[in-house]
Amino acid sequence: MTLKKTYHMKLTPQRLAILEYLEGNKAHPSASDIYKAVSEKYPMMSFATVYNTLDTLRGKKHVRELSIDSQKKRFDPNLKPHHHLICLECRAITDVHRNFALDLTDSERFGYEITGNHVDFYGVCPKCKRGRRSKI
């Protein structure tokens, strides 16, 4: 597999493996999800390497770190502004592509220049809703 995007950084085999796994990935994986998937193909890769590589990629703005899941950090290779919806039962995260007109008044922004926002939605996904019903 070849990467479609150009990365202005040194692509070590570890970075390459993780970038390849993340490219186009819409599952918002955690570090341990990424480790599980990548170490299947690269058994020499340690969890620490995955963790450190994610930190580097985040620092270079090649991935976004999400805090929507209170249990663990989740990673998103999609850097275009968008929001998220999480299932509180299975922790699945779905993209929300909508431009919310969220404005702060002058008194609310305390002199800040606002550069972005992120809205988190919480709920129960259709799969978990079906599972609930069958348990009753």
Judge contact between 128 and 85, C-beta under 8 A. Answer: no
Choice between 51 and 118, CB closer to Mn ion: 118
19/133 Cα distance (integer angstroms): 39
Contact between 85 and Zn ion by CB under 5 A: the answer reads no
Does 76 sit near Mn ion (CB under 5 A)? yes
What is the distance between the alpha carbons of residues 93 and 122, in angstroms, rounded to a whole number?
A: 9
Selection from Mn ion, Zn ion, none that 89 binds (CB < 5 to 8 A by kind) is Zn ion
Least distance CB 34 / Mn ion (angstroms): 15
Cβ–Cβ under 8 Å, residues 17 and 41: yes
Residue from 20, 33, 69, 89 binding Zn ion (CB under 5 A): 89
**Site for Mn ion contains 95 (CB under 5 A):** yes
Q: Which of 68, 48, 46 is nearest to 56 (CA)?
A: 48
Q: Is 90 helix (H, G, I), strand (E, B) or coil?
A: coil
User: Quick one: which of 11, 90, 104, 119 contacts Zn ion (CB under 5 A)?
Assistant: 90
Q: Which does 76 bind (CB under 5 to 8 A by kind): Mn ion, Zn ion, none?
A: Mn ion
Applying CB under 5 A, which residues contact Mn ion? 76, 78, 95
